[in-house]
Amino acid sequence: MPVWVQVAYLVCAVGFILALKGLSGPRTARTGNLIGAVAAVVGCAIPFFYLDLHHVPLILAAIVVGAAGGFVGARRVQMTQMPQMVALFNGVGGGAAALVALLELRELVAADEFAGSVPWFTLLATAFTILVGSVSFAGSVITFLKLQELMTSRPVVFPGLPVVFGLGLLAAVVLAVVTVVNPAEPVGVVLALVGLLIGVLLVLPVGGADVPIVISLLNAFTGLTVAAGGYVLGNTLLLVAGTLVGASGTFLTRLMASAMGRSVANILFGALKGGSTLGAGEASDRPVRSAGPEDVAILLEYADRVIVVPGYGLAVAQAQHTLRELVDVLGEKGVKVDYAIHPVAGRMPGHMNVLLAEAQVPYEQLVEMDDINGDFKNTDVVVVVGANDVVNPAAKTTPGAPIYGMPILNADEAQQIVFLKRSMRPGFAGIENELLFDPKTTLLFGDAKETLGKLLNAVKAL
């Protein structure tokens, strides 16, 4: 590898590190994303200038098709569908790594037969890439189907699932050992098929609000496969990039699991003993106190302190701009308003931060759960817009509930609670929220964008 190529790869690797650092904050996220994209394009272009590549027209055609698909997807996918797109793109990455490893296995087998000089660790890394890449691909497809509601979001279990899953893991270990001891392309293909089965069985029992955490875990899997593939191919840039993704994905998974108050193992296998969040549920017919926009406007007009709790319903209604305008009007009237951000609100990490940043909400108004939970007891009105599980007291009061032990926003401690809901259907965890029936709670029914528009007009009229 020429020196200039090594230097270029080093610069690209530094670009990936700077991109990850930039993505850690909303002010620098756009710049960080741009740096990462440029580094990726340069890294992909370099091999064309120093390698004697075969089938260049096919490679270029594949790049054009992939770039076109990515561009159209990024432009057309709604904010509410972003988690599905992330899952799908992540799965494609894992599947690509597995396919590259299968092709590399063919080369390694030929080299081993010719010279018998292939190191065992290289074969082990190849087997790892095939297996984990296949797991990531299949698992990501299932998470996409669940989030897109092309299949039920509830946990899917069947008698003998743990046994089949265990046998799949055992078969994967045996096949990986065979790949190292006596490498053969058919063994690699079977290993990939076993990985696909493990990926499906890993995600099927996961339901409801646990799915975004699994996306983060599978993202870490894909990063590790890319890193292992970089080792097999002798490509330092892939090794660095994969390690960054694997490490950050693992760290994010642990943080999200902590925010749910549960272990990763419980999230993955909790449904086998009734511990996973459930997914869809039936609408309640219990009586609640409801009001119109004018009544809620009066409540907000006389408040000194208001906290807004955004959730997935806000993203579905695309009501973030109307909500920001309402908060701005309240601020002009002397009301102090902040947004309380739960770590797992929405369908992916940072979903609410991105949604509100899109509406140009000042970052200073976005307050994380740990920093704002102590303020609820001194708050006049909490306005919950499209959220449910993240304010459900069952997480603190109902042992055995799917979300029991999950840290929540203490909305129940406020003087008054206003829920903007489309219907009485439960949240993504599939359980009823007792806070809806609290005497302090008022419900404002309807589409969030339309309801907030009416509420905004009512507040302006006072």
321 within some domain = yes
Same domain, 268 and 298: no
**Is there a contact between 88 and 144 (Cβ–Cβ < 8 Å)?**
yes
Residue carrying the six token digits 């999200």: 256
Same domain, 100 and 234: yes
Q: What is the C-alpha to C-alpha distance for residues 279 and 154, in angstroms, rounded to an integer?
A: 4
In terms of DSSP H, where are the helices of 318-438? 320-332, 351-358, 369-372, 394-397
Q: Which residues contact 157 (CB under 8 A, 6 or more apart)?
A: 204, 205, 271, 272
How many structural domains compose the chain? 3
Predicted local confidence at residue 40, as pLDDT: 93
Q: What is the C-alpha to C-alpha distance for residues 58 and 233, in angstroms, rounded to an integer?
A: 20
Same domain, 221 and 92: yes
386 within some domain = yes
Positions marked active-site: 389
Same domain, 94 and 71: no
Predicted local confidence at residue 274, as pLDDT: 55
Same domain, 39 and 1: yes
Predicted local confidence at residue 211, as pLDDT: 79
Same domain, 317 and 429: yes
Same domain, 115 and 173: yes
Give the predicted TM-score (pTM) of the model.
0.79
* Helix, strand or coil, per DSSP, at residue 201: helix
What's the half-sphere exposure (Cβ side, CA atoms, 13 Å) at 276? 29
Predicted local confidence at residue 433, as pLDDT: 86
Q: How many residues does the chain have?
A: 462
Same domain, 67 and 106: no
Domain termination residue (choose one: 76, 102, 130): 76
282 within some domain = no
Q: Which helix (H) or strand (E) holds 24?
A: none
Predicted local confidence at residue 157, as pLDDT: 83
286 within some domain = no
Q: What is the C-alpha to C-alpha distance for residues 211 and 398, in angstroms, rounded to an integer?
A: 22
57 within some domain = yes
Domain termination residue (choose one: 34, 51, 76): 76
Same domain, 266 and 190: yes
CA distances from 334 to 147, 359, 455 (A): 40, 21, 17
- Residue ranges of the chain with per-residue pLDDT less than 70: 79, 112-116, 208-209, 260-262, 270-285, 349, 427-430
**Which two tokens mark 459?**
């507040």
Q: Which domain holds residue 357?
A: 293-461
280 within some domain = no
Q: What is the CATH number of the domain that holds 455?
A: 3.40.50.1220
Domain termination residue (choose one: 76, 105, 128): 76
232 within some domain = yes
Predicted local confidence at residue 428, as pLDDT: 63
Same domain, 242 and 95: yes
Same domain, 236 and 215: yes
Predicted local confidence at residue 271, as pLDDT: 63
Q: Sign (positive/negative) of CA torsion 13, 75, 225, 344? A: positive
Same domain, 335 and 374: yes
Which tens digit of pLDDT belongs to each residue from 352-397?
A: 888 888 888 988 899 999 899 999 999 999 999 988 888 999 888 8
DSSP 233-256: HT-HHHHHHHHHHHHHHHHHHHHH
Predicted local confidence at residue 382, as pLDDT: 95
Q: Which residues contact 345 (CB under 8 A, 6 or more apart)?
A: 309, 310, 311, 312, 351, 352, 387, 390
Strand order across the beta sheet in which 305-310 lies: 366-368, 336-341, 305-310, 381-385, 416-421, 441-445
259 within some domain = yes
Predicted local confidence at residue 243, as pLDDT: 94
Q: What is the C-alpha to C-alpha distance for residues 234 and 82, in angstroms, rounded to an integer?
A: 34
